[in-house]
Structure 1
Amino acid sequence: MSSQLFIQLQLEMTEIKLSVGMKTVKAKIRTVEMNPNEIHFPENLFDLFCLPIQRYNFHAIYKEEIESLMLGPIVGLVTDFTNKENDDPYFRSIHSFCEELHHGLKEYGGFLFVFSYPEFPAKGYYFEEGKWKSAQLPIPDVIYNRIHSRRIEFGREYNLFRQKLTELGIPIFNDRFLSKWEVHEHLIHENHLQPFIPETNLFTKDLLAAFVDKYDTVFIKPVHGSQGRNIFKLKKENSSMILEASVKSHTEHKQVILPLEDVYSYIKPFVNNRIYIIQQGIPLHTYQNRGMDFRVLCHKNHQGRWTATSLVSRISAEGEFVSNLARGGEIMNPLNVLKNSLSIGEAKALIKEVKELAIETAMIIERKSSGITGELGIDIGIDQEYKPWLIEVNSKPSKNFEDGQKKIRPSAKAIIQFCTKLAWDTTFEMEES
């Protein structure tokens, strides 16, 4: 170790405990004159810690009372993917985001690897020389959940993996998908948020009639849906209803006109015994006659406070009533969208209000949900009077917003900060218990 680092860390002993990830070994320190802030490992230490032999940029924290030097954090990202023996792994919609996180941790301090939960802890993938390589890697300090499927999270194999993490004392954040009804129940009991929440209930035949009687437009959405799939939009027209659906088998006829008494029978086969919600349709502000909402990415920072790290306008594709990117929606700068109808000052004030509503929502969801929450994507629409409405909350928000950008985005930096905080907080709690 460099002499300067030895002094900077206030080390007094030359024999200490050294921790990387969940593994701790006893090590002897020899101080030498070399670049400040450098530590050189002998090869056997790399093997003991299951670290590929390469240069690392780690945070170093020395706990004098337990004579332990911790290097890290080691961050594991769990997702579901398949890869054939000799093929490079492909992490689906988050593949380029995983590279972004790798580069961010390399720059700000830490080591990332990606793994599939059935292979944990025997095998993971780390990024080196432009490709993902497999190896047995350290047991991580913290795990970031990017499983793509609700069905997997409900499955036995995934739950065995979760039990293993509990036994090892490894924190996992964004533990699971949130259901739309669960989110609604968390938020609707907060009096100050009620004016921003569309009327919502569990879908039944009787409620369909009641909602249609009360509102010009209603939406019917799957409780466990995502990416704007399997949603129905009903709009009154005289004594009939115009029905639109974002359902695969419905694409050949975008709109169907039905008498009200036939609507439930028409929808029922699509719903197919799954749980749906029914929701008041808000006459939202549009952009060039296309649907529009805002996606606010909210993250907990290194101080444990929620911040809005990104805000974009999502504009629906022609002929679509949902703005999700998965259904052809496009991303625009919110100021550019709003300045067509508001002054710059008014647009900035509205964006500030949207961010504040998103942060308040994130704080409540975190407080009322089980597990650790560190990231949420919150969808907010504005009506024609420029009042914000909470549309949806996502615990696994899309990572594809700013395509083609090579820099580390604020949202990725926020995840790195939160991982680092979680890793050190958990390590200290375990050492002190």
Structure 2
Amino acid sequence: MSFPLIPIRIEPRKPKNNYDRLVQMSNQLFTRLLLKKDLNLNIKLGQKTIEAKIQTVEMAPNMMLIPENIIKDFCLPLQSYKFQALYQPELHTLELGPVIGLLTDFPSNKQEEPHFRSIHAFCEELHHGIAETGGFFYVFSFDQFLNQGYYLINGKWCPFEHPLPDVIYNRIHSRKLEQSVPFKQFRKRLETLLIPLFNERFLSKWEVYNQIFQEKNLFSFLPKTKIYSKDHLFELAQEYETVFIKPVHGSQGRNIIKLKKEEDSHYSLQTSITALYDISRNKYFLDEIHHYLKPILHNRFYIIQQGVELVTYESGAMDFRVLCHKNPNNHWQVTSIVARVAAEDEFVSNLARGGRMLKPLNVLRTCLGHKNSLEVLALMKELAVETASTISSSSSGITGELGIDIGVDQYGKLWIIEVNSKPSKNFEDGLGKIRPSAKALIQFCTLLAFDSTIKGGQIN
């Protein structure tokens, strides 16, 4: 961010009447903001602007006292705040923020405190990180937009009528919900309100494959992949020792099929699809396998992908999840890498299927040695950043976060396995701290909140 942001502490004060618009500010803050002598000032928070009169008084530096009625007009709970501030002299406006809304879907019960499913703890982490750096954070569902959201106070998520946010971070769990008519109407409403929404949708495996394949520096890192059909099944299964059949819109290692070439043109089958458990005990010809798969895959898009013999750890399948985020300069960076090792009797490493996390350098050393593991880890970071840049530039909307799954084969060659626009939040062990990935998200939200005003909403 090339513009200076000033941290400001705000305390509510009792108003003299319902129309009290007097905001008290420390002399130091008044001077630091380079305010004009005219003591009338517009204060913008979220998408709302209120005209106030400024009075300078002796108080702690970077402190403002704001009447409770103004805080209520901003649709904020009555409490102390830390915000970041930007003064725009041409508009005579002091912008406070960022106001960040996290969009997700969760069970609604007015009598009980909400639970945000797999990202509940992560929402608490974001709240604490934003409160620490400056800003206001809340969680909402799209069908309750502007009616009710939830903010964290004293360890409890409380309902309130929330303000229009500066930026919205999409963490909806359901692909189907994102494709629904009500959600599309909600998206149009955000466009009308000029509120940026980032990571606005799930990515499909086929879409990601084609975007990366077009990039000549990256396509050699891709396993050969085609849309599933009988012809493609025969082609790839005969060409490679193993192939994977995956749903184009799948996630968390669900509904994946692994075929392995056996003797006499037979193939064995492993799968997480319950309906196929019974046939996974035997070996079959490809014709038979296609016959069994046809009703399972009916009217659903699946891909068939070259299987790569990746390095293992303690005989468990292994890959690496690399988290990438946009930094304050709007460039991609790696914020976290973990090795994921599959649970016993599993052929996918996803944590949702019992996989475990390990430190990447430790496990790479066991199979590649010290020097090679350092080189591979460095290359993995470069590959992840280049992949993230390619995906974000090829996809519509704003992308600020990606989880990139990378495998390493027996020769140390890297393979791009998958790219996730809504990566799991269970990868880093935060030990009660604000993790690098959460800090990166907060910085990106701040960039969108303030830079969109300066650049007229253009985020490159």
**Band of TM-score, shorter chain:** over 0.9
Structure 2 SS opposite 1:397: coil
Tell me the amino acid that sits aligned with residue 194 of structure 2: G
Tell me whether 1:173 sits opposite 2:198 in the alignment.
yes
Tell me whether 1:413 sits opposite 2:439 in the alignment.
yes
Aligned to 2:143: 118
**Runs of 4+ in structure 1 displaced over 6 angstroms?**
none
- Over 3 Å counting, the alpha-carbon distance change for 1:328 and 1:431 in structure 2 is closer
- Over 3 Å counting, the alpha-carbon distance change for 1:148 and 1:256 in structure 2 is farther
Paired with 2:130 and 2:280, the residues of 1 have a C-alpha distance of 45
Structure 1 segment 251-270 matched on structure 2, within 5 A: 251=277, 255-270=281-296
Find the partner of 2:133 among 108, 112, 122.
Answer: 108
Aligned to 2:266: 240
Structure 1 segment 389-400 matched on structure 2, within 5 A: 389-400=415-426
Is this contact kept in 2: 1:244–1:256, CA < 8 A? no
Aligned to 1:343: 369
Find the partner of 1:23 among 40, 43, 48.
Answer: 48
Paired with 1:255 and 1:114, the residues of 2 have a C-alpha distance of 46
Is this contact kept in 2: 1:165–1:171, CA < 8 A? yes
Aligned to 2:170: 145
Tell me the amino acid that sits aligned with residue 7 of structure 1: T
Tell me whether 1:163 sits opposite 2:180 in the alignment.
no
Please list every run of 5 or more consecutive structure 2 residues that lacks an aligned counterpart in the other structure. 1-24
> Percent identity among equivalent residues?
54
CA deviation map 1:55-113 (0-9, x unaligned): 11100100001100000100000000122111000000000000000000001111110
Greater alpha carbon shift after TM alignment, 168-177 vs 246-255: 246-255
- Over 3 Å counting, the alpha-carbon distance change for 1:371 and 1:400 in structure 2 is same
Please give the TM-score of this superposition, normalised by the length of structure 1: 0.98
Tell me whether 1:304 sits opposite 2:326 in the alignment.
no
Structure 2 SS opposite 1:77: strand
Please give the TM-score of this superposition, normalised by the length of structure 2: 0.92
- Over 3 Å counting, the alpha-carbon distance change for 1:27 and 1:251 in structure 2 is farther
Q: 1:256 offset after TM fit, Å?
A: 3.8
Q: 1:138 offset after TM fit, Å?
A: 1.1
Please list every run of 5 or more consecutive structure 1 residues that lacks an aligned counterpart in the other structure. none
Greater alpha carbon shift after TM alignment, 64-73 vs 250-259: 250-259
Q: 1:313 offset after TM fit, Å?
A: 0.2
Tell me whether 1:34 sits opposite 2:43 in the alignment.
no
Paired with 2:260 and 2:249, the residues of 1 have a C-alpha distance of 23
Structure 1 SS opposite 2:124: helix
Find the partner of 1:375 among 391, 401, 425.
Answer: 401
Is this contact kept in 2: 1:221–1:278, CA < 8 A? yes
CA deviation map 1:187-244 (0-9, x unaligned): 1011111210011111000110111111111111100000000011000011210111
Q: 1:248 offset after TM fit, Å?
A: 3.2
Q: How many residues align?
A: 432
Tell me whether 1:11 sits opposite 2:38 in the alignment.
no
Structure 1 SS opposite 2:90: helix
Aligned to 2:360: 334
Tell me whether 1:210 sits opposite 2:239 in the alignment.
no
Paired with 2:174 and 2:283, the residues of 1 have a C-alpha distance of 34
Is this contact kept in 2: 1:379–1:392, CA < 8 A? yes
Q: 1:269 offset after TM fit, Å?
A: 1.9
